[in-house]
Structure 1
């Protein structure tokens, strides 16, 4: 079996912008299901925050029985759990939308995966209690800056509905892959909401506030909303769960190959349930062949897949992949276009040439 010309060198992040820093994981070169911290994608709205972790306290206030400020030692002493999860920017693959939309033109690498360790939020909230009127929980990060649409200084803040916040797998994480979370990924504390797009997993958590209404912060009410209509807000709805998706890692787009037998490889993931199957097509989706999954699919995590391809004839080939999850969600032929470019999950498609 031939390979696709992989070389034994270390890949690097792909820079999309430097201020704020936004960089992609070299996902096409990843052979592991745990991404090294140095290759974990970076998504920021502002410059990195400046604070002293020695005096770090996480405040929980609002509609609670007892407001409380937790030190890091308080949090480290509470019962913890590990969650292996994909984190995917909701703008992943934005650059593939047609017609184009404004925003960071992410390719296929605004996605990474690893094992997070932390305290389930529900356990933390047992120490403060919740009033019966509580509806949402707001998480404010230490990162802040000016929004160009309002000329106001704001912190990055997001909310979760109570039922998601109290899910046993929603955690206040302090470790990534058995080490402290790197500063650029949220040290010392980061919210992890497995199954939701990455904007929900607020970094550098400063404060948690329990409220009795829908949160109206700009990163909740303006951004991270699907707007199906370019001219108005008709039909809008919030970005939440990760859409079922797949990416072909090897071969690479527009690669030249010789005749032979190759192993087409990729990953597939979803926000609800787990991956049930992955299929591949060489005729623009008219017929499909089943792929082999490399492991038993897990909730929240991507699964690697492969397909043995006998490339016997010269010519150009368009290769498509599509995944189906246990909820019956299937990658569509075309993406759901929305003017902010969120949630792209059409069939992955590459072209190669055999000569």
Structure 2
């Protein structure tokens, strides 16, 4: 007996990607009219029929949650993904994990694929770029979607957001460095103009403004390599800097790694504070002072909210901030 045509057959017939066919089936407005017509003609030619009721049934009862993460190479997100998956398992749900590697095009493809597999909801830490396309896919999916850590911005509201209290974290870090006697504090890392970068430096900026101090902001990739480069740059161009707040722990660990070769003693000469409290920071030399986002509690909260939304129709608030705390270690003390 001849098998029924699939979405892959439609894509092949039309000469487009499977994700494009999925967007057409979902009624996404981002697909060009000529592409939409091409896909519809291909469906008619091979006799493909979209079983919308079956798709709806799959979505409502699959027990699958799509977890879309912007960068699983970062231990911070890896820890969250593992803890979130365990929390969901206790609630009877399975997690389907997708790493977008900060690629918005790949992000759209992954979301479309997860929709095709009938996930009951999404948790997404989004990659930036081409926000309209990603939002269109999520809108068309009409599936409970909770953003975590960062948000895609648009006018007229967006999907609910759960994120750490970055503002308070930045304030705690800046106040601590001033209490330790720092007179010139720099902020390192985070791509310029990104909402999450603005949020993570906001507390730092507010404290310096209150004290009448001038900020020094050096943005860039949030990596160890960037941190190493910035340590050398600070020594060469800004030798008066005696404290740094880093966008994340990876940047901070890069700064610490570069200090010995530069003849800098992290702590006494340059006080360093990170953000995220990844495990590597406990074992660095010296151990890293950092803003902890309390990922175990954060993961449990995210899991509770998406499960309540799916099972009981209780949507999360438009925006919620989870508490943070400063973990003081040797990198910011004498």
Say whether the fold is shared (TM-score over 0.5): no
Q: Which of the pair is proportionally richer in helix?
A: 2
Select the structure of larger CA radius of gyration. Answer: 2
Q: Which of the pair is proportionally richer in strand?
A: 1
TM range (shorter): under 0.3
Q: TM-score, normalised by structure 1?
A: 0.22
